[in-house]
Structure 1
Amino acid sequence: MRKNLYLAGVLCCSILSLQAQNNPGSNHGNRFEQLGTMLQTPNMYRSASGAPGPKYWQQRADYDIDVQLDDAAQKLTGAETITYFNNSPDPLTYIWLQLDENEHDPKSDNQSFNESRMSDKMTLSTLNSILPPKQDLGVKITKLTDAEGKTLPYTINQTMLRIDLPKPLMPGEKYRFKVSWWYNISDRMTIGGRGGYEYFQEDKNYLYTIAQWYPRLAVYSDFQGWQNKQFTGRGEFALTFGNFKVRMTVPSDHVVGATGECQNYKEMLSAAQYQRWQQAQNSKEPVEVVTLDDAKKAIQGHASSTKTWVYEAQNVRDFAWVSSRRLIWDALPTNVEGNKVMAMSYYGPEAYPLYRRYSSKVVAHTLKSYSKHTIPYPYPVAISVEAANGMEYPMICFNYGRADKDGTYSESTKNGMIGVIIHEVGHNFFPMIVNSDERQWTWMDEGLNTFCQFMAEQEWDSNFPSGRGPAHKIVDYMKMPKDQLEPIMTNSENIVQFGPNAYAKPATGLNILRETIMGRELFDFSFREYARRWAFKHPTPADFFRTMEDASAVDLDWFWRGWFFGIEPVDISLDSVKWFRMDGNDPEKTAKTAQAAYDKNMDHVARQRNKAAGVKYAVDQDTSLQDFYSKWNRFEVSQEDKDAYSKFYNGLSAEEKALYDSKKNFYQLTFSNKGGLVMPLIIEWTFADGTKETDRISAYIWRKNENEVTKVFAKDKQVVAVKLDPLRETADIDESNNSWPREAAPSQFELFKAQGGVRGASTGDNPMKKARTK
């Protein structure tokens, strides 16, 4: 109930944040108010600073697992002993396990609760979501006992399993129990899902990516109790840290890569392979431990014998592995903040042209970049597996990136592969180490990781075509109809545009904080502090928000409120520019100015054409019509006026004279907030001599009027143009109202003619292939 109440509160605040204003009906006192009750109340477990409190606690679960892979039947059979440590202050009368493979069970709600429609063209995956499953899928529990073998009562509710304990598990106690199970491995290429197999018809082999495959503990925490929300295929995992020892029995010609470190390479590898493994420990380039030739030979045979790979991992929240006879494996030692890490890659022959050149080096680069921006990578290995998908687990991830049969590839395939490897390897930090609850707050995992991915991509290549991170790339999402939008602080299953909402928008927001609102120095220190505080712990959004402010002395509640709890876009309009000059009281200057204004006012087209036509004016033809005013110089300056000005000027101080003589130009700019989401004002001035300068005004300028603000700027030089947000830093959805004078935008047809192809965009073109055919 605590969890449900808290989530309900967060979602209500998210959706109604603009309606539940502190000062409704006013033009101020809303967007800049503190978040207050929108965040959970600090306590002894989680402090108001955003750090773990003095009585912070979390549970632990250790696993000892034996598992057999049946390559003939595509079946997995396992038995595990789990030791669960109750570090909470609460007696527990039951514990919850996750059975994530049950997402494929036809009886699970996620198999029926999504809409479906027929169309003229149907994909295989769409049809498979409608048709009854061809396989018997889902976890089959064959035995569940305590450590002494006594049967324990349990209840399965879709993807969750509750074990009823014979007596309460008291604070400080541990409980050991055993689970035996099996399931048919699903074809992830046809029915989807993260784990499963891919079948290669040409050589009749399987690639197994075994993920969320064992019954595993749900999280029991101080802020929600049991996290037993069902797994429906989207919202990922909240998991408990622990130690693993896993023995995987597979066909003897398979290669296995897994979370942790292998304990028996010497028995698993040939003598030549083991020698290459030893060589790889000190190499400066990736070394093929299992070579392309090894893989090609293994593909030809299908061993009936088996062997058992043994892996161990300490202080991880999960365990995943890959097994196949069609894998090349290379390894590269990497120095990460003084620690040696083995960056490794496993891939099939079809990925060799790309993965052999790039994968392990991208892994190494990712570890270094993320370690610089968060905490030093603490694990001994990091693995990238080419598996035609993208998914992450501790120390191992599954990615894509295959060449064409002739070994060529497009630039978009290369860049896409590099991007997904960075992203999935980066997940080691969020959420594998900074262990947020992905089921409830996808952005704390995907959004933070996508932001770090953007920084790593830009550090890889200054021309890397990052798709998420730059502010202007979120604009198309932000300008969508409001019924297609929801706050970032929305549960993952309820999001319409999942990628933009949970990945791109939070990543963009963090980039705006770093580059525009906080500055790199303050942001980087605070972001590292968050990672340091919550490494190997369970943070919530409030812990992140509070830490970023606590470590920087920057009040960001207005930003969290608008960017994370709301759906308003940024659209700030430069409505007017007024120019003022201080001509002073010098009567001669005043007279010249007045004469120029008089002459301009008197001039018009009829007067000019009359003069050109030689019109004879009545007062010229009849001089009796002329009087005193006909010859009076209305702009003549009297000596009396000159003497008065001289007396005034000589009475000024040196400082006053300097200002008086400066000939300053004063520009009064008026801005309106059309989108609703406030942002700093970034103003670029272009002067008459062609030079430019930029002023940056804090978003706090909007605090007393959230709808319209006016600001005066003094400039030494005359301004010819003003532009708002020149580097597109704030995700402004309408740039047509950002300039003075207004800049004409080309029509769609002219825009199409003017622009070239975007570097890295996927157009289906493969210039490498064309070059080879010439």
Structure 2
Amino acid sequence: MRKRSLKLALGLCCITAMANAQNPGSNHGNRFEQLGTMLETPNMYRSASGAPGPKYWQQRADYDITATLDDEKQKLTGAETITYYNNSPDPLTYLWLQLDENEHDPKSDNNSFDGSAMSDKMNMRNLSGILGPRTGFGTNIVKLTDENGKALPYTINQTMMRIDLPQTLQPGQKLRFRVEWWYNISDRMIEGGRGGYEYFPEDKNYLYTITQWYPRLAVYSDFQGWQNKQFTGRGEFALTFGNFHVSMNVPADHILGATGECQNYKDVLTPAQFQRWQQAQTAKQPIEIVTLDEAKKSLAGHATARKTWVYEAQNVRDFGMVASRRLVWDAMAANVEGKKVMAMSYYGPEAYPLYNRYSTKVVAHTVKSYSKHTIPYPYPVAISVEAANGMEYPMICFNYGRAEKDGTYSEATKNGMIGVIIHEVGHNFFPMIVNSDERQWTWMDEGLNTFCQFLAEQEWDNNFPSNRGPAYKIADYMKMPKDQLEPIMTNSENISQFGPNAYAKPATALNILRETVMGRDLFDFAFREYARRWAFKHPTPADLFRTMEDASAVDLDWFWRGWFYGTEPVDIAIDSVKWYRLDTKDPQVSNPEAKAKYDRNADHISRARNRAAGEKFAVEQDTSLQDFYSKWNRFDVTDEDKTAYNNLYAGLSPEEKKLYDSKKNFYEVSFTNLGGLVMPLIIEWTYADGTKETDRISAYIWRHNESQVKKVFAKDKEVVAIKLDPLRETGDIDEGNNSWPRVAAPTRFELFKQQQSVRGASVGGNPMQKAKK
């Protein structure tokens, strides 16, 4: 890694909120300081506002690919011509290409660098990690030549391939070269990975998800040079935009869906299917282009004839496909910001009860929702494929959601399917369009997308049970021991709690920004501006942080520092409450209050027990001991007292009389920041008459003392209860100290803990199935 990238990695990945303390040992001057040198230095490529600079540049790579799928041997053979444009100011003497299929090569480090353990029950996937990957996998380079057919030297380092150029590729020049290659397709249900096949023994057919399948250019950028970090299966990819022309030859009874638009539907579909495709262009409800009956009929045959599907895609960063003879395909036209987008789904018979009803409509809903919150969806197609997994590529994604054999499904499966379709289709925006580097910053892809997924889920159904987004759902993660946590700004491979760290916590943080810190209007404008500025470009975290502040006039450095660079949790407690009232000086009010206080202070246990015992007191037995003070009531209101009070009131100014007559109650509340993460104070007051009121205090209340703060509130009514964060919108990890007076909440425990189910399988019970019986 280059010096610049190393500095960035150290600055972004290895610090906590207090590691860069500018005022160590103090209770202030740390959490509210500006990020300063923790961010990249602005330059002509990236401005201090967060926008691309006047000399921003990025590379381009165009692909012309022909490939053949061998359904008998599960093998893919391909050849591609790549045209690479050097738009950078730098002369290049070599290029780096990604060979992601090499993650299955036994020689790749990712197949040995994870720990492992035995358990009482082991499946093939568990054992394959222990026994080591099966041989025969990985990309095989047959030939690499320039456009004139002359061989080019190359070096393969695990999942990366360096091409050494015979002549320096100068700024403004382009290079055309050809690669021929093949690989054995892996069983992704056993080997894992993003692409591969799933075998269905009941009908002896394969479902191919062809992804990360061709040698492709790595990103060369202004902020790090070549992004040639190895692919280990977790941190996904950073890629260069370009145009694709892909010809895929498959068995004649296969249906193929892919990134982009098919150029020869009329040649590869039956006349009836092609007619349905034309009808779908204006359909408001999904139309089955390939029907369930047609898909079932295809299961029995294994065609020896072949056909070639031709697809083109403009300005995309990658290309994915699905191919199988066991696919239903439906489509409808969605109006997205005044533009027609073909929403489509491909799925097998086992997914039909769920996908036929929901999938394509969820696709349409997703692109509409995301377009509202970011930029209008720019592509002509959006596809959801049921493949028992979840992964995304431009215009096409792979999701789960299969019914039981009787056609029923659980509510958890239905909601999980809807959520994963929204998530994977949503990835078209982050990172397929707003093209962040997933190898370095997974959260810029997964976190931002999960946040938008939450918005789309809530717009789909007000009662949708979103698992990520609501602030209170991140509390269990944030209360974990510090040695099990890392900042959001951590490299993908180094994250131990991947889902909470890269998906849930950044999504929660953005939702808190939107609902609690900035407000919807300011946040939505700034977030759309970020998407607009960086659509089809390569942003970094600094570009997001700066744009959000630049477009909103809200200083958020304290928020980025705490939520993204730190591991401290939110835990703010109400320590004490003091109640004050204005001393009226009215003897008719103050004298009875003083008497009550006097009596309360004068009483004690010995006095009470003496009375109860019938003690004969000396001053009662000998009345000569009694004098004026024995009968004097010091709390009687005299005429002199009344006159003094009237004179005092008459001398008050109009404003003083207004305050005096208001009968205000003053409450001094002491708050302690136990967790360390500074947040706004959201205070709900419950009054004696049963009404409620909420005050919202900016997080800046902590700027002079980040540990403790007191604040006095003037209230017209008497307060009987105070509660912090009543809507659970800050992620507070201990709600037990958020109330005054303290409220004890019961905690339940489970006698048996349910085992985790296979992803996509019916979970949570199946009332539909029980009702059917």
- What is the identity, as a one-letter code, of the residue corresponding to 2:455? M
- What is the identity, as a one-letter code, of the residue corresponding to 1:4? S
Displacement of 1:608 in angstroms is 4.9
Q: Deviations over 1:671-706 (max 9, x none)?
A: 001100000000000000000000000000000000
Displacement of 1:645 in angstroms is 2.4
User: In structure 1, how many angstroms separate the alpha carbons of the residues matched to 2:632 and 2:761?
Assistant: 74
Match in the other structure for 1:36: 36
Q: Secondary structure at the match of 2:334?
A: strand
Q: Deviations over 1:100-155 (max 9, x none)?
A: 00000000010111111222222221101111433400000000000010000111
**In the alignment, is the contact (CA less than 8 A) between 1:9 and 1:38 conserved in 2?**
no
**In the alignment, is the contact (CA less than 8 A) between 2:106 and 2:134 conserved in 1?**
no
Q: Deviations over 1:221-265 (max 9, x none)?
A: 000000000000000000000000000000000000000000000
Q: Unpaired runs of 5+ in structure 1? A: 753-759
Match in the other structure for 2:755: none
Match in the other structure for 2:157: 157
Match in the other structure for 1:756: none
Alignment of 1:101-112 (within 5 A): 101-112=101-112
Q: Secondary structure at the match of 1:353?
A: helix
Match in the other structure for 2:551: 551
Alignment of 1:396-407 (within 5 A): 396-407=396-407
Q: Deviations over 1:177-201 (max 9, x none)?
A: 0000000000000110010000010
User: In structure 2, how many angstroms separate the alpha carbons of the residues matched to 1:612 and 1:131?
Assistant: 85
Alignment of 1:325-474 (within 5 A): 325-474=325-474
Q: Secondary structure at the match of 2:424?
A: helix
**In the alignment, is the contact (CA less than 8 A) between 2:403 and 2:762 conserved in 1?**
no
Match in the other structure for 1:72: 72
Displacement of 1:11 in angstroms is 4.2
**In the alignment, is the contact (CA less than 8 A) between 1:135 and 1:186 conserved in 2?**
no
Task: Please state if 1:10 is matched with 2:29.
Answer: no
Match in the other structure for 1:480: 480
Q: Secondary structure at the match of 1:682?
A: strand
Displacement of 1:203 in angstroms is 0.6
**In the alignment, is the contact (CA less than 8 A) between 1:289 and 1:329 conserved in 2?**
yes
Displacement of 1:606 in angstroms is 5.3
Task: Please state if 1:529 is matched with 2:524.
Answer: no
Task: Please state if 1:209 is matched with 2:218.
Answer: no
Alignment of 1:584-599 (within 5 A): 584-599=584-599
> What TM-score does the superposition give when structure 1 sets the normalisation length?
0.97
Match in the other structure for 1:696: 696
Q: Deviations over 1:595-628 (max 9, x none)?
A: 1111222334554565566554332221111112
Q: Secondary structure at the match of 1:58?
A: coil
Displacement of 1:634 in angstroms is 1.4
Match in the other structure for 1:288: 288
User: In structure 2, how many angstroms separate the alpha carbons of the residues matched to 1:364 and 1:748?
Assistant: 41
User: In structure 2, how many angstroms separate the alpha carbons of the residues matched to 1:761 and 1:641?
Assistant: 82
- What is the identity, as a one-letter code, of the residue corresponding to 2:243? N
Match in the other structure for 2:323: 323
Q: Secondary structure at the match of 1:690?
A: coil
**In the alignment, is the contact (CA less than 8 A) between 1:198 and 1:206 conserved in 2?**
yes
**In the alignment, is the contact (CA less than 8 A) between 2:8 and 2:40 conserved in 1?**
no
- What is the identity, as a one-letter code, of the residue corresponding to 2:111? Q
Q: Deviations over 1:625-665 (max 9, x none)?
A: 11121012212344334323222211222222111111100
- What is the identity, as a one-letter code, of the residue corresponding to 2:142? T
**In the alignment, is the contact (CA less than 8 A) between 2:106 and 2:135 conserved in 1?**
no
Cα gap change, 1:444 to 1:637, in 2 (>3 Å)? same
User: In structure 1, how many angstroms separate the alpha carbons of the residues matched to 2:637 and 2:254?
Assistant: 102
Q: Secondary structure at the match of 1:248?
A: strand
User: In structure 1, how many angstroms separate the alpha carbons of the residues matched to 2:184 and 2:512?
Assistant: 46
- What is the identity, as a one-letter code, of the residue corresponding to 1:157? N
> What TM-score does the superposition give when structure 2 sets the normalisation length?
0.97
User: In structure 2, how many angstroms separate the alpha carbons of the residues matched to 1:298 and 1:74?
Assistant: 18
Count of residue pairs brought into register by the alignment: 765
Cα gap change, 1:543 to 1:765, in 2 (>3 Å)? same
Match in the other structure for 2:94: 94
- What is the identity, as a one-letter code, of the residue corresponding to 2:71? D
Cα gap change, 1:763 to 1:308, in 2 (>3 Å)? closer
User: In structure 2, how many angstroms separate the alpha carbons of the residues matched to 1:113 and 1:365?
Assistant: 41
User: In structure 1, how many angstroms separate the alpha carbons of the residues matched to 2:761 and 2:741?
Assistant: 33
**In the alignment, is the contact (CA less than 8 A) between 2:721 and 2:741 conserved in 1?**
yes
Q: Secondary structure at the match of 2:723?
A: strand
**In the alignment, is the contact (CA less than 8 A) between 2:409 and 2:762 conserved in 1?**
no
User: In structure 2, how many angstroms separate the alpha carbons of the residues matched to 1:122 and 1:664?
Assistant: 69
- What is the identity, as a one-letter code, of the residue corresponding to 1:354? L
Q: Unpaired runs of 5+ in structure 2? A: 753-759
User: In structure 2, how many angstroms separate the alpha carbons of the residues matched to 1:673 and 1:77?
Assistant: 61
Task: Please state if 1:82 is matched with 2:75.
Answer: no
User: In structure 1, how many angstroms separate the alpha carbons of the residues matched to 2:493 and 2:134?
Assistant: 26
Cα gap change, 1:133 to 1:762, in 2 (>3 Å)? closer
Match in the other structure for 1:755: none
User: In structure 2, how many angstroms separate the alpha carbons of the residues matched to 1:761 and 1:655?
Assistant: 69
User: In structure 2, how many angstroms separate the alpha carbons of the residues matched to 1:722 and 1:739?
Assistant: 6
User: In structure 2, how many angstroms separate the alpha carbons of the residues matched to 1:332 and 1:6?
Assistant: 49
User: In structure 2, how many angstroms separate the alpha carbons of the residues matched to 1:592 and 1:761?
Assistant: 71
Q: Secondary structure at the match of 1:554?
A: coil
CA RMSD of aligned residues (A): 1.6
User: In structure 1, how many angstroms separate the alpha carbons of the residues matched to 2:597 and 2:313?
Assistant: 84
Q: Secondary structure at the match of 1:528?
A: helix
Task: Please state if 1:228 is matched with 2:228.
Answer: yes
Match in the other structure for 1:253: 253
